[in-house]
Chain A
């Protein structure tokens, strides 16, 4: 083999391992899950032995009250969690966007909740919500209040799960919006100050609009992740009490491992995937549109100059 063929082959050699793994362990399984959703399949069967049942799994799901409940819980969870975190995270970023010592330490401490295992986060919160030895009920009781049935009452359990998620993920929004804030053009802020804008006016009319592109992307990223939450809730409530906190990921896991209905679990996975796919595409198109607009504006400026 001479040098030039070696050079021509190099890119393929470099790409081959990644290509093989992605094809065999990622793209193939995703194709497989689409096919499996049309089968009546249980875990002891090879996929070839499973009977093809067409759209039966999907029909069954749409008529299934428990599935609809779970879909509703998932949407409610994602909506509540993301809006609360956006408000808190952006608010904190606006408050803490100052020059001060120790900011990097603060940021380090804030990302800790995101870095440790969701299983451990669930564990900590389950302990804190414990009816008798948990810190919340202990404090309530010592102050003379009634203990709260954190994880055993449907409404409280949902709130408990939401609070844990807010604790874990608000820092994500905070750090991204802080980064956005600090990269805002100084000139615009200075101009606002010279024109005599108050703090609130600067925030409302200058900072927030300029941050908007980043905020939207952040929100979509967080929204996608909110649909993937599983371990924290699994450890805290395991979907209970009843179906109060059973989000779709948990239901997929239960359908596959407890009810042993792999076809149905696959159909559920596809529905979840479609929801997420539309979110992701929306996000991608949005970033592309923003880039195109920025480019157009830049070329216009160049022409004028």
Chain B
């Protein structure tokens, strides 16, 4: 394939775009590695001694050693990190299992047309979390009695993500040739065996895309977690916002917490950008 020779201006544009896209993230990383003295100083912001102190301060109760730099250990962030991990992992697994079963039933047993599922996915996508705030708070507190617990947050995340997961998995299951399943059935496999042993392994890419989307939404979500959590069950976004409202912002530590919150999505992006883009474009291009 012959490549056209590109204009140098074109490369300059590219470099600028990359700097613009990644610059703020790198700036956050740099700030999280600085002492407050360096953050406040008037000197150039590029030359400084990197330090892990801010991370030690944020994670002090999770470290295996006692950081010398931290006089007083504030366990809020460490606790929130554990909460976030537990909540997101459990809700992702639940959403995938439940969503996968539903998607399979919808495809193979022809319950509802794909139109009905796409419409409900679309309707779900449209609902802002802010709209769910009042009813979810009321129902979870007074009727289900699970406000303030991790279960409450997990339940709403599973419910919020199910329509999208069902919809995206459906498009993968449709591509599994029915002959494979029939062959398995001939060999005496029951419906559950067919599902778990034949269908599931074939739709792994779809599962990966769905898992990333679900995990990320829970991991990044603030509003509902804020309304549904109490002191002990707060997630990371909630603690970050809480520490911002204080009068004096410790930029170094808060950037370290922000960086820690940003790391999992960044890793997903680097390892699975193709799946992410597929998931993103599928919505618009295929309808």
Partners in one complex: yes
Chain A contact residues, majority secondary structure: helix
Chain B contact residues, majority secondary structure: helix
Answer yes or no: B247 CB below 8 A from chain A CBs.
no
Answer yes or no: A191 CB below 8 A from chain B CBs.
no
Answer yes or no: B244 CB below 8 A from chain A CBs.
yes
Minimal Cβ-Cβ distance residue in B for A41 = B138
Interface string of A257-289 (1 = CB under 8 A from B): 100001001100110110011011001100100
A94 to B240, CA, bound (A): 39
Contact A15/B102 with A47-B142, A128-B27, A252-B133 known, Cβ cut-off 8 Å: yes
A109-137 with Cβ < 8 A to chain B: 109-113, 115-121, 123-128, 133, 135
Answer yes or no: B197 CB below 8 A from chain A CBs.
no
* A12 / chain B contacts, CB cutoff of 8 Å: 105
A77 to B172, CA, bound (A): 37
Answer yes or no: A29 CB below 8 A from chain B CBs.
yes
A253 to B107, CA, bound (A): 39
Q: Are B262 and A117 in contact (CB under 8 A)?
A: yes
Q: How many residues of B contact A (CB 8 A)?
A: 95
**A235 touches which of B28, B105, B223, B241 (Cβ 8 Å):** B241
Answer yes or no: A30 CB below 8 A from chain B CBs.
yes
Interface size bracket, A side: 35 or more
Answer yes or no: B77 CB below 8 A from chain A CBs.
no
Q: Are A111 and B277 in contact (CB under 8 A)?
A: yes
Answer yes or no: B62 CB below 8 A from chain A CBs.
no
Answer yes or no: B251 CB below 8 A from chain A CBs.
yes
9 pairs of residues in contact across A and B, judged by CB atoms under 8 Å? A43-B137, A104-B273, A109-B22, A116-B261, A119-B237, A230-B222, A253-B133, A266-B135, A270-B131
> Residues of B with Cβ closer than 8 Å to A?
1, 3-4, 6, 10, 13-14, 17-18, 20-22, 24-25, 27-28, 31, 39-40, 45, 98-99, 101-102, 104-106, 108-109, 111, 118-119, 122-139, 142, 155-156, 158-160, 162-163, 166, 190-192, 195, 216, 219-220, 222-223, 227, 237, 240-241, 244, 251, 254-255, 258-259, 261-262, 265-266, 268-270, 273-274, 276-277, 280-281, 283-285, 287
